[in-house]
Amino acid sequence: MPKNSFKTRLKIAKNKLSRKNLYKNKQSPSSIGTAFKMSTELVSAVVVGTIIGFILDKTFGTKPWLILIFFFVGVVAGILNVFKSAKKMQR
């Protein structure tokens, strides 16, 4: 029986698989993953900026100023992060 032979069955299965993959590739499979990604991107840069400002303040003794400046620089960096990953998503 040629129909029951393993080779034909394998061919049919492979055909099915490739058709399914073609259909799947049209939409991005990792869209939920990228959505999760964006959330912390903004916050983490603010945190890093503030920490850097705090450390620099301690070493130079300019108590409130550098932490303020670096906080806002961190905010800008966070927005840049989100912007970059949004750009990456579009490609």
Is residue 14 close enough to count as binding other proteins by CB under 8 A?
no
Is residue 77 close enough to count as binding other proteins by CB under 8 A?
yes
**Minimum Å distance from CB 64 to other proteins?**
19
What distance in Å separates the CA atoms of residue 86 and residue 81, rounded to the nearest whole number? Answer: 9
Cβ-Cβ contacts under 8 Å for 72 (sequence gap 6 or more): 49
Can you say whether the dihedral through the CA atoms of 42, 45, 51, 52 is positive or negative? Answer: negative
43 and 78 Cβ atoms separated by less than 8 Å: yes
| Tokens coding 61 | 């003794």
**Minimum Å distance from CB 47 to other proteins?**
6
Is residue 32 close enough to count as binding other proteins by CB under 8 A?
yes
Is residue 22 close enough to count as binding other proteins by CB under 8 A?
no
Q: Provide the binding-site residues for other proteins, judged by CB under 8 A.
A: 30, 32-33, 36-37, 39-41, 43-45, 47-49, 52, 70, 73-74, 76-78, 80-81, 84, 88
